[in-house]
A and B are shown apart, each in its own frame.
Chain A
Amino acid sequence: MGATKWSVSAVGWLQAGRIFNSTDSSNQKINNLNKNWLQNMGGQFTALIDISPNWEAGGGIGALQSHLPLGAISNAQNYNPNWGGYISEARISWSYPNKENPQYKINLGAFPFNYSPQTRNLGLYLTRGLVYPGIVISGFETIHVLPIANINGLQIINSGKNFEHTLIINSETEYAPYFDLSAIYLAKLTPISGFTLGAGINFFRFYAQNEDLTSLREYKGNCETKSNYGIISNENDPEVCYSLENPRTLLPNENGDTVYYDTTTGSLSGTKLMGRTELDFKKLLNFSYSGSESDFVLYSEIALLGVSNISKKYYNKRSERIPIMVGANLPTFGILDVLAFEFEYYPNPHSADLGKATLAFSWVPRREHYNAKRDDYKWSLYASKVIAKNIKASAQVANDHLRLGGTGGAYYTGSEVFIEPKNWYWMTKLAFFF
């Protein structure tokens, strides 16, 4: 062990920001997030172990101090910082013929993965979020765009001159029910320098650790009563493990009309499709440029969250399950490393709250308490700059899919902070790394 070569990388950071406008106060003063400050700090160490020309391993640990948002002024006394830890990675990798130029690479364990390195905020639909309901995830520098493990399982990569195939078996550890397995395949093609095409498919939760939780195909009772979300209270919602569809009135009886429904069962599992492009105009037009390597890149991503229409009531139109985003790295002529503007359109007609899915394992969307048509457009402006090789400053203003814990001890509901075009926030971050 003593002769093993290894190196350590580390990062420490301070992060602060403010929600400037948030419409969704959930009709509770306690959840009024307007003008709320956000702040966290953290650090992590990661060791990279060079075992042989083919083998390497990585492992690291990090910690984060954060806090719940304050909510209303009347609730500010409940403001508490929280302390949490995480594993930045714990993996073993094998490469062939060698680590430097691998034709094949296998990762096993917990490790970071980002198939669209240009993405700063919006997108990554294939590996982030759910299928039914079609929840998408974003925010300021989420773990999916940082060197922090977001895949737990197996990854096989085959790289060629102009192409790359990736197969992933991922154990779900982000959203309950845990440990369901997803199978993901991604292909990347670079036909000409500066132009990249990508596509992928995700058989999300194709293997369930408990089929009754992931795909309750048969109604077995105990799921139609109110407040059945367990932790989300005061929700009188009979549709948890099935949806009530195709209402019809039969002959009236002596007490009045009787309405009958079809009870449609569904599943949290489903298939995602994804396509993306990346255009680097510096290479396509072959012009010399002394600014950042990221500048003049245009990228986009489109996805279908759930191939099958599994419910006439909620999932009957594929067009409502297609998020699309376009991003552009604007030229800054060396002033910044990245200045990226991203725009997203996702015409999901249902609530973007994931609490019902993760706490009650329900594939039925949570009942929206707002006009879900008003949150179809999202945008983000992100900037970053590395100073003195080891210090990175970054910032973002956005209206994205930010989700925060409940304020002042209120339970986490999984609701989005921004539900109208006028909503927005800003964040800044100062990081030291080596």
Chain B
Amino acid sequence: MHKIFLYLITLTSLSQALTYTIHGKGYTEFGKIMHVSDTLPIGGDQYNLSDNWFQTVGAQFTAVAQITNNLEGAFGFGGKKYHDTFGGKNSNKFASFRFASFITESRMTFHIGEKEAPLFSTTFGNFAFNYNKDVKNLGLYMLRGTVYPGFLESGFEHPRVDTSIGDFFGALFTSHYGAFENHLLIQNERQYAPRFDWHLGYITKYHYKNIFTLGAGFNYNRILPAYNNITSPKADSINTADERKDQSHPYDVKFFELTTLRDSLGNKLLDTTGKEIQVVGHVYSHAGIKLMGMFSFDPKPLLGLSAGEDLKVYGEIGLIGVKNQGKVYAKRSERIPIVIGFNLPTFGLLDVLSLEVEHYGARYKNDTRKLDYKDPNIHLPITQVERRPSAVPVSLRDYWKDQDIKTDSLTGEVSVVVGQDTIQLPKQSNVNNLTSDDIKWSLYAKKTIHKSIVFSGQIANDHFRPAPALISNPINPRFGTHTVFTTLKDWYFMFKIGYLF
């Protein structure tokens, strides 16, 4: 005990001579959605995000304190002024500026060996961690998004790509030994419900002379749930009355499937009124394992060219959920995102000009609202059970509540009967079998001058989730839960000017 006390005394005395540096950045960013296909023909014009402008200004400060030769602490905060997307003319007046504050970092790091590539280091707290720094926009599947459903994340200078903002809360253990680099990660879930679950991940990378890098990893999402009966509900704790009776499509279920009891001969069992006896079938769990493989190849050293980002080819592949579960997650092939990136040669004109293309065959819309149930109008009437975070994708029935949905058996076209009207849904609105959003692409450029001033821009069709201004039922998109780009025709551009110090 007295040794600990002496150690604390030593730390205190050292802190009197502690050195620190302050880093910061400020930026102005703007852009425009040039085309979206999914303008859902209901609920006013809030979904029509075509031609919507964006503008954001922000600033942040971070202090990094060198406490001892091996111990470092960092803390910072920042804020940004942004606004809702406008939607159309009628929703425009509800768009307003907002201010968001955030913690850039709040961490302690202990390391043995070289600080940049330590033999061993451990970091606790809130900090930035990017295992694939080649990624400009698409990728980073292992640590971004969810498992069931397999929602991907991306966007212009996403917080997981921009390492000036800490987006990882937990602990990181790192070791560099020779050509190998290893990371053990313990992360707390704060972004998506159910929150506060713990993930366990591991990444290993092999570097060959700055020419080739090969990496692999796994992330056991929600290995330690905060509330097990929310993350992986137990069948015996569920009342079948809580589930939706009409399960004409696998996505229609809330969080478990109903199954009909059968006798030993396979005949359906009926109750005294002649109805089939239904019991709880498969219960969907949020917990699952992600696998990741990555590579990077830089031919410049082989060609005797100077350093830089040009000509580098990189890629990443993921398996979002090793285990099949229920009717929804029956095919692994639909849970494999893959991205290939190439840094185009700019001959020193730019720091980087990167083209990335992604394929992901998930057959549902990248919309997290059912995960969080932020829209009180989904699944009426609401009960506490129904508001449980669902590991099932959104379905047409979720979007259109209890209205009559019809599918043409010949053409596959879907229509919805609303009152006296029949609305023919465009293909990209058919979230029950959405394949038109499988391909994503991004072209990113960046140029730094005077070491401090950074210009960057991007045109892309990615997983951008803007937060539109208020509007009406049945879908309230103000929380920015859904990606707005659902066909190859959709795209946007962003531009940013900032400085670092």
Contacts and interface: CB of A to CB of B under 8 A. Distances in A.
A92 to B, nearest CB: 6
Given A1-B23, A90-B58, A59 B499 contact: yes
Contact of A51 (B86, B93, B99, B450): B450
Interface stretch (B75-83, B111-119, B280-288, B318-326): B75-83
B434 interface: no
Interface stretch (B24-32, B354-362, B421-429): B24-32
B453 A176 contact: no
Contact of B58 (A87, A171, A359): A87
A49 interface: yes
Contact of A92 (B59, B99, B499): B499
B93 A49 contact: no
Contact of A57 (B57, B86, B97, B499): B499
Given A59-B26, A59-B59, A87-B80, A1 B500 contact: yes
A92 B83 contact: no
A45 B61 contact: yes
B497 A92 contact: yes
Interface string B82-102: 010010011011111101110
A55 B501 contact: no
Contact of A61 (B22, B55, B79): B79
B209 interface: no
B28 A152 contact: yes
A110 B28 contact: yes
Contact of A109 (B24, B90, B99, B497): B497
Given A55-B450, A57-B26, A178 B95 contact: yes
Contacts of B486: none
Given A49-B501, A55-B450, A90 B26 contact: yes
Interface residues of B, number: 45
A208 to B, nearest CB: 11
Interface stretch (A25-33, A120-128, A161-169, A209-217): A209-217
**Residue among B51, B89, B499 with the most chain A CB within 10 A?**
B499
A139 to B, nearest CB: 19
Contacts of B26: 47, 57-60, 87, 89-91, 109
A147 B28 CA distance: 18
A149 B57 contact: yes
A4 interface: yes
Contact of A209 (B53, B97, B449, B501): B53
Interface string A329-366: 00000000000000000000000000000011100000
A230 B94 contact: yes
A49 B450 CA distance: 12
A109 B79 contact: no
B237 interface: no
A93 to B, nearest CB: 10
A49 B451 CA distance: 12
Contacts of B21: 2
B46 interface: no
Contact of B501 (A1, A177, A179): A1
A79 interface: no
A86 B501 contact: no
A108 interface: yes
B442 interface: no
B27 A90 contact: yes
A291 interface: no
A109 B501 contact: no
A97 interface: no
A176 B91 CA distance: 12
Contacts of A8: 22
Interface string B21-51: 1111111101000000000000000000001
B163 to A, nearest CB: 13
Interface in A175-231: 176-179, 209-210, 212-213, 222, 230-231
A173 interface: yes
B97 to A, nearest CB: 7
Contacts of A176: 92-93, 95-96
Chain B at the A interface: mostly helix, strand, loop or mixed? strand
B260 interface: no
Contacts of B22: 6, 8
Interface string B434-467: 0000000000000001111100000000000000
A152 B55 contact: yes
Interface string B476-501: 00000000000000000000011111
A160 interface: no
Given A87-B81, A108-B28, A152 B57 contact: yes
A61 B57 contact: no
A52 B452 CA distance: 10
B219 interface: no
A179 B33 CA distance: 14
Contacts of B53: 178-179, 209
Given A51-B453, A59-B59, A86 B89 contact: no
A47 B24 contact: yes
Interface string A358-397: 0111000000000000000000000000000000000000
A87 B59 contact: yes
A63 B81 CA distance: 12
B95 A85 contact: no
A361 B96 CA distance: 14
Given A2-B21, A87-B80, A210-B89, A171 B99 contact: no
Contacts of B450: 51-52, 55
**Residue among A1, A55, A222, A231 with the most chain B CB within 10 A?**
A1
B499 A87 contact: no
Given A90-B26, A91-B26, A173-B55, A212 B61 contact: no
A4 B57 contact: no
Interface string A5-19: 010100000000000
B57 A90 contact: yes
B60 interface: yes
Contact of B452 (A57, A173, A359): A57
Contacts of B80: 87
Contact of A173 (B23, B77, B97, B100): B97
A404 to B, nearest CB: 18
A308 to B, nearest CB: 24
A90 B59 contact: yes
Nearest to A4: B501
A4 B451 CA distance: 9
Contacts of B78: 61
Contacts of B95: 176, 178
A361 B26 CA distance: 32
A84 interface: yes
Given A109-B497, A179-B55, A361 B93 contact: yes
A325 to B, nearest CB: 29
B444 to A, nearest CB: 20
Contacts of B81: 85-87, 173
Interface string B60-82: 11000000000000000111110
B501 A90 contact: no
Nearest to B60: A61
- 3 closest residue pairs by CB, A with B: A59-B26, A57-B499, A90-B26
Interface of A: 1-2, 4, 6, 8, 45, 47, 49, 51-52, 55, 57-61, 63, 84-92, 108-110, 149, 152, 171, 173, 176-179, 209-210, 212-213, 222, 230-231, 359-361
18 contacts: A1-B451, A6-B24, A49-B452, A49-B499, A49-B501, A60-B59, A86-B79, A86-B99, A87-B59, A89-B59, A109-B27, A110-B28, A176-B95, A179-B53, A210-B89, A213-B89, A222-B90, A359-B93
Interface of B: 21-28, 30, 51, 53, 55, 57-61, 77-81, 83, 86, 89-90, 92-97, 99-101, 449-453, 497-501
Given A1-B501, A58-B26, A361-B93, 12 more contacts: A47-B24, A49-B452, A55-B453, A59-B25, A59-B59, A61-B59, A85-B100, A86-B99, A108-B28, A173-B55, A173-B97, A231-B93
